[in-house]
């Protein structure tokens, strides 16, 4: 799709938390949300907090998505449906999820992991993972496909832990919250705007 690369780069620059990468004490969430909420009003605050604010350096790999056109809806899915439908990138499918599944079941460090403890005691996660609805085979600019029919964008620890808890027969909640993201037809760029260079 046609778009202004410079404006996309400017948006991403504004979305970076102040001090991110320079210090562990970067821009606090309340001031960050107050500053950027009008830039991406389609984002629920929970989704913005766990993705853009906490993991900004990882989110830029999705710069080929038009953030302002993404639609979010919160849904409750049973455990088995999540396991059947939600996939990682094809080259890692089963990889990261297996690592975190094994971690929560076998690693001594899991006992001091805040997320692992929360999920063990509550039978679900504290925040909904971000899942891209992918019925038509969305691909990156290089042609590499997303997971189908739903792509796990954010929440690999959570989903891996859920797999591990299910395998260890931990009592789980009947359903778990997800943010399902719909990508509009004009919401996929054919290249990475953040890789575009300018002379001025």
Question: Which pLDDT tens digit goes with each residue over 79-92?
Answer: 999 999 999 988 76
Residue 186's pLDDT is: 82
Model confidence at 199: pLDDT above 50: no
Q: Are 137 and 152 members of one domain?
A: yes
**Does 137 lie in the same domain as 105?**
yes
Q: Is the peptide bond before 103 cis (omega within 30 degrees of 0)?
A: no
Residue 27 has pLDDT above 70, yes or no: yes
Provide mean pLDDT across the span 18-24.
82
The pair phi, psi for residue 2, each rounded to 5°, is -85, 140
Residues 7 and 105 in one domain: no
Question: What is the average per-residue pLDDT within 165-180?
Answer: 97
Distance separating alpha carbons of residues 117 and 73, to the nearest angstrom: 27
Helix/strand/coil (H/E/C) assignment for every residue in 67-132: HHHCEEEEEEEEHHHHHHHEECCCCCCCHHHHHHHHHHHHCHHHHHCHHHHHHHHHCCCCCCCEEE
Same structural domain for residues 31 and 56? Answer: yes
The SS3 of residue 48 is helix
Shared-domain flag, residues 48 and 92: no
Q: Are residues 78 and 143 in the same domain?
A: yes
| pLDDT tops 50 at residue 132 | yes
Tell me the pLDDT band of 94, cut-offs 50, 70 and 90. low
pLDDT (0 to 100) of residue 120: 97
On whether the CB atoms of residues 14 and 39 are closer than 8 A, the answer is yes
* Token pair 């989704």 in the structure block, residue: 47
Tokens of 105: 């079941």
Residue 79 is part of which domain span?
71-183
Q: Give the pLDDT score at 95.
A: 85
pLDDT value for 92? 63
**Average pLDDT of the segment spanning 174-198:** 89
Q: Does 143 lie in the same domain as 114?
A: yes
Among the listed residues 22, 153, 160, 7, the one whose alpha carbon sits nearest the alpha carbon of residue 98? 160
Query: Is 132 within 8 Å of 153 (Cβ atoms)?
Result: yes
pTM of model > 0.75: yes
Q: Lowest mean pLDDT: which of 106-120, 121-135, 186-200?
A: 186-200
Residues 60 and 83 in one domain: no
Q: Are residues 45 and 123 in the same domain?
A: no
What is the number of domains present in the chain? Answer: 2
| For residue 3, pLDDT beyond 70 | no
Write down the mean pLDDT value for the chain.
Answer: 92
């Amino acid at each position: 799709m046609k778009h202004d690369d410079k404006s996309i780069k400017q948006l991403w620059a504004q979305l970076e938390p102040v001090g991110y990468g320079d210090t562990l004490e970067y821009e606090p969430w309340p001031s960050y949300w107050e500053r950027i909420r009008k830039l991406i009003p389609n984002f629920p605050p929970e989704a913005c907090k766990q993705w853009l604010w906490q993991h900004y350096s990882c989110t830029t790999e999705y710069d080929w998505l038009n953030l302002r056109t993404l639609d979010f809806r919160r849904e409750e899915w049973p455990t088995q449906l999540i396991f059947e439908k939600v996939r990682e990138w094809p080259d890692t499918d089963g990889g990261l999820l297996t690592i975190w599944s094994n971690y929560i079941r076998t690693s001594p460090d899991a006992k001091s992991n805040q997320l692992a403890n929360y999920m063990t005691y509550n039978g679900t996660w504290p925040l909904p993972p971000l899942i891209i609805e992918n019925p038509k085979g969305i691909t990156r600019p290089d042609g590499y496909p997303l997971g189908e029919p739903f792509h796990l964008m954010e929440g690999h620890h959570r989903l891996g832990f859920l797999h591990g808890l299910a395998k260890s027969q931990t009592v789980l909640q009947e359903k778990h919250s997800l943010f399902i993201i719909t990508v509009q037809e004009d919401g996929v760029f054919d290249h990475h705007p953040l890789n575009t260079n300018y002379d001025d």
